[in-house]
Structure 1
Amino acid sequence: MTLTMLALFLPACFALNVAPGPNNVLAFANASRLDFWTAFAGGMGRMLPFALMIALVGLGLGAILAASTAAFTAVKYLGAAYLAYVGWRMWRAPKPETDITAAGSSVSTLIRRDFLIAIGNPKAIAIFTAFFPQFTDLSQPLAPQYVTLGALFLGLEVLAVALYAGLGAGMKGFLTPIRLYRLNRGVGGFLIFSGLTMALSERP
């Protein structure tokens, strides 16, 4: 892998990392109602699923899974159902006169939620399968290249979590209880919409 390839990979990869998908939006919402470090720690729940998906792609299994209609469909519907469930829970969160930050706010709960959202999205494997090979040199051993690309992707993902958590924490002064309640419902609606979109989407 050449330095030119890496120079092309980094901005393209970071664009994928900072796209406002369900995990990033959730990190923003968690920080806006809790704090930066709690939301940041919760956002680390996606790292293991992404690392596993990158490993699958590197081993050649990602292409097999991406080509399997039954496997893709099963994971897609499970992921869509979980997204809708999380969205519904956020939509139904208590109003400001009660404590909207009390339920489901432990770091372990946030990590588990982020993990399940990430691992329930089969399109991540499809993205890795289509994206990573464009930056590899087939004349060189592939394993070290995937390790490098995977490590860079995960490092940029950490930056994306920090960015969204920082934005959410920075808006805490602006977010009055009623605005926070509306944000919670807005994020919940977004997650429900994302789940429906995932369920209805065609294969990439």
Structure 2
Amino acid sequence: MSSLQSPPILGRNMSLHTILWFIPACFALNMAFGPNNLLSLTNAMRGGIGIALAASLGRLVAFAIMIAVTALGLGALLIASELAFSAVKWAGAAYLVWLGIKLLRAGGPKLGAVEATRPVRSLSVLARQEFWVAIGNPKAILIFTAFFPQFIDRNDYAASFALLGVIFLLLELAAIAIYSLIGSHLGRFATNSKAFSWMNRLSGGMMIAFGAMLALARRPA
């Protein structure tokens, strides 16, 4: 962790040991199967890897904003305020349920297997979905308010927080690529309307489940 001693090579005092501890722990969080990674999986199934990666820019923008907000101390205020936490939590949960219902109602494509590989919504719409799913999850802020400080160099706070933030975003992009690759392979099995309809139902049901879990989340003590 940050208390481990090694030559100061990053920032003024942040050590290589700190970074080497941070990367695998952070990547485990990036790879956790949640609503945003489900979106990447679903978008890749429907439109391919390129569409999923491009749409994920909405998520990366949201996380960059949350990292900046947390670095300025506002993230801690959000976690400390029950009203603010609840407002973001319920808005995020409602949005996930709404997305899930839309997926459930989407069914399968009407024009066969060729149409099944095309995106059903514009790239801007998919990017906005990624953004709002990420920004509407107050639990994501916990990563930056509770996880990042374990690795922060208190003597060089701004630079070390920025470095960890950049690493987080790069690892998030790697996780997106992995889920998109998996989704693109799954999409190849959807060679007919019925199969794709079932995939939409599965994705929609899981999105609603994520919304329910978020609604039940409690503010950290």
* TM-score, normalising length: structure 1: 0.94
Matches within 5 A, 1:127-138: 127-138=143-154
Residue of 136, 139, 145 corresponding to 1:123: 139
Maintained 8 Å contact 1:94/1:100: no
CA distance in 1, matches of 2:136, 2:100: 14
Q: Please report how far the alpha carbon of residue 100 of structure 1 lies from its aligned counterpart in structure 2 after TM superposition.
A: 6.1
Query: Which amino acid is the alignment partner of residue 32 of structure 2?
Result: A
Maintained 8 Å contact 1:104/1:110: no
The match for 1:157 is: 172
Query: Which amino acid is the alignment partner of residue 3 of structure 1?
Result: L
CA distance in 1, matches of 2:107, 2:189: 20
CA offsets 1:12-70 (integer angstroms, 9 cap, x no match): 00001111110101111111111110111111111111111111221111111110100
Following superposition, which runs of at least 4 residues in structure 1 exceed 4 angstroms of deviation?
98-104
Unaligned runs of 5+ in 2: 1-13
Give the secondary-structure state (helix, strand or coil) at the position aligned to 1:202: coil
Maintained 8 Å contact 1:78/1:120: yes
Give the secondary-structure state (helix, strand or coil) at the position aligned to 2:56: helix
CA offsets 1:128-150 (integer angstroms, 9 cap, x no match): 10000000122x22000011000
Query: Which amino acid is the alignment partner of residue 169 of structure 2?
Result: L
Give the secondary-structure state (helix, strand or coil) at the position aligned to 1:172: helix
Residue of 153, 157, 160 corresponding to 1:142: 157
CA distance in 2, matches of 1:44, 1:104: 18
Q: Identity over the aligned pairs, expressed in percent?
A: 48
Q: Please report how far the alpha carbon of residue 172 of structure 1 lies from its aligned counterpart in structure 2 after TM superposition.
A: 2.6
The match for 1:62 is: 75
Q: Please report how far the alpha carbon of residue 179 of structure 1 lies from its aligned counterpart in structure 2 after TM superposition.
A: 2.1
The match for 1:19 is: 32
Maintained 8 Å contact 2:108/2:200: no
CA distance in 2, matches of 1:82, 1:119: 11
CA offsets 1:112-162 (integer angstroms, 9 cap, x no match): 110010010011112210000000122x22000011000000011111111
Query: Which amino acid is the alignment partner of residue 158 of structure 1?
Result: L
Alignment coverage as a number of residue pairs: 203
* TM-score, normalising length: structure 2: 0.87
Query: Which amino acid is the alignment partner of residue 80 of structure 2?
Result: A
Residue of 112, 121, 139 corresponding to 1:105: 121
2:191 paired with 1:176:
yes
Higher relative contact order (CA 8 A, sep 6+): 1
Compute the RMSD of aligned alpha carbons: 1.6
Indicate the larger mover: 72-81 or 191-200. 191-200
Unaligned runs of 5+ in 1: none
Query: Which amino acid is the alignment partner of residue 167 of structure 2?
Result: L
Q: Please report how far the alpha carbon of residue 174 of structure 1 lies from its aligned counterpart in structure 2 after TM superposition.
A: 1.8
Maintained 8 Å contact 2:53/2:176: yes
2:106 paired with 1:93:
yes
The match for 2:211 is: 195
Query: Which amino acid is the alignment partner of residue 82 of structure 1?
Result: Y
